[in-house]
Amino acid sequence: MEYLPLQYLSLYYAVDESGVDFATLSQYGVLGIFAILMIAFIKTMYKRETDRADRLEQENRDLHEHIRERVVPALISVTATMEDASDLLVEMHAIVRDLRELPPIRRPRRTSTEGDS
């Protein structure tokens, strides 16, 4: 583990959880300005990413709610309709099978004189 040199210790304490002490950082010249810019950049990026994560989380919740409200009932309805259609196909298959077992209907032949009236 590396320790900060004693000369940078005040720089370390200038940036703590309570905020940034710009007066202390400005005493370091370019290094202080760089630290101020980096801190501003990091805070901005952190805020941006947390806002983005919150927004995406809310969109995810909204989409989940939409699925529960609309898609699930539609799927239940479609499933019931498919079950009804399947039952009808089974009944139609049974009717066709029963019709095939009947003897063929014999129709009398028409003679040519019957149709010439």
In a domain, 54, yes or no: yes
Confidence band for 1, pLDDT divided at 50, 70 and 90: very low
Cβ-contact 24, 11 below 8 angstroms: yes
Q: Could you tell me the pTM of the whole model?
A: 0.46
Residues 18-77 have pLDDT tens digits of 566 666 666 777 777 777 788 889 989 999 999 999 999 999 999 999 989 998 889 999
Residue 77: domain span: 6-101
DSSP state letter for 69: I
**How many other C-beta atoms can be found within 10 angstroms of the C-beta atom of residue 8?**
14
In a domain, 110, yes or no: no
Number of domains in the chain: 1
In a domain, 115, yes or no: no
